[in-house]
Amino acid sequence: MRTNQLRNRIVTHFIGLTLLMSVLYGILSFIFAYNVEDRFFYLLLKDEQATVQTQIAKNLTPDPKLDFIKYYPTTDVLPNTVKLALKKAPNQREFSTEDGLYYHLYYMEPGYLVAEVSDHLVVRQFKEEMIYLLLILLSILVVIAIAIGTTSHRLAKQLLKPLDKIMAILDNAPVEKLPQGFAKQFKNDEIGTFALTLESALARIKAFIDREQHFTRDVSHELRTPITISQGALTLLQQTSLDPQQKELVQRINNAQLQIEQSLEVLLALAREEPKAYEPCKLLPLVEKSILQQYQYLADPNINIEVSIDQTQRVTVDHTQLLILLNNLIGNAFKYTSSGTVAISYNNDVLSISDTGKGICTSLKNNALDAGVKGKHSSGLGQGLNIVKRLCEQLKIEFSITSSSNGTHVQLKFS
């Protein structure tokens, strides 16, 4: 489609340029014709000047040879229409009157030569014929332009054919297998050089993807095993006799262990970008679970936590990934709210999380969702909001965040 647009654009621009040049040519033709006509009258008046001056020198009555040219010795004896026009524009030498007369004025010493040229304006008389002729010429040029444009279209199609072939190769290639070795089927010209450069870039991309896939598999294998072992050890430890303080510490380790498992599963899913079909899950239990998991980060136990979500409310999304989303967003609200309220509500398919903290630093607002961006007093790695953004993109959730000195407001809109 883009190549067709390019070809059509070439033809359209060519025809448009032809039309523009034709119109400019027509305008210049009229300007040239009027200038030639004015120059002609000027030369006639200059010639009559020599005749009149000779007659005056011989004390004869000045009498121009041409009957449409009259001599007036002073301004007072000029025709009233010319006199009024000259009074309005002293430097003007061409006048038209309301009754359709057209005058050329030539100043000489002494007096004026006035030519009433209304019946001698060739351009005005033949203006319609000239326009008609120019339209005929314009039509002929348009036909020629269309013919040349059609030829140019065929030529463009032929020249862009290799690009169409490259696009077909890329379109037909599966996502998991980038095309390789296709540059050799193109000639050693600009298109061939482009194909070779593109093939080299795709080879680097493929190598990068392969490394990432190997890394994902290695992480999955190497981390799951020690996590499973430590989880089993924690389970056995909980079955032994522990004092209250030890039980609390073991429970905190166990919660952190569960969060590691959840995070690992979600991050691996993000790396693989595996599409899934999700079953509806209840929202309120996940929000409550996230609050319990993040409660340890609450800046002040006196902060009010308001939850307004119907017990029957369900959302169609992976519950583990949603829990990671909630942990990041609720955890941030807990960490950066020193007083006031953290409010969590759900209405019209929109989950809202609001706090009364200091908000995101002004210098970070434009790139707060980028990886590694964090405030001066943050103890994290600056990955939380970036993970939220990527998870929302994968889960088809509309994510928005607004922040000011009065707090931060986050919305998750479920489709």
Q: What is the pLDDT of residues 124-138, one digit of tens each?
A: 767 677 777 778 877
Q: Concatenated DSSP letters for 238-266?
A: HTS---HHHHHHHHHHHHHHHHHHHHHHH
Task: Say if residues 330 and 397 touch (Cβ distance below 8 Å).
Answer: no
CA distance 388 to 323: 11
Q: Which domains does the chain have, with CATH numbers?
A: 2-127 (no CATH), 175-274 (1.10.287), 276-414 (3.30.565.10)
C-beta separation of 69 from 115 below 8 A: yes
pLDDT exceeds 50 at position 221: yes
**305 CB-near residues (< 8 Å, 6+ apart):** 291, 341, 342, 344
Of 102, 96, 98, 99, residue with least CA distance to 121 = 102
The first and second tokens of residue 275, run together, are 């599409």
Whole-structure pTM over 0.85, yes or no?
no
Q: What is the pLDDT of residue 412?
A: 94
Residue 398, pLDDT > 90, answer yes
As a whole number, mean pLDDT of residues 102-114 equals 84
Q: Greater confidence, 381 or 218?
A: 218
405, 345 contact by CB (below 8 A)? no
Residues 6+ apart with CB under 8 A from 383: 371, 372
The pLDDT-based confidence of 377 (bands split at 50, 70, 90) is: low
Residue 414, amino acid = F
Instruction: Quote the mean pLDDT of the chain.
Output: 81
Which pairs count as long-range contacts for 22-30, CB under 8 Å and 24+ apart, including other chains? Answer: 22/134, 22/137, 22/138, 22/141, 22/142, 23/138, 25/134, 26/131, 26/134, 26/138, 29/130, 29/134, 30/123, 30/127, 30/130
Six token digits for residue 340 = 């006031």
Nearest-5° Cα angle at 76, 73 to 81: 105
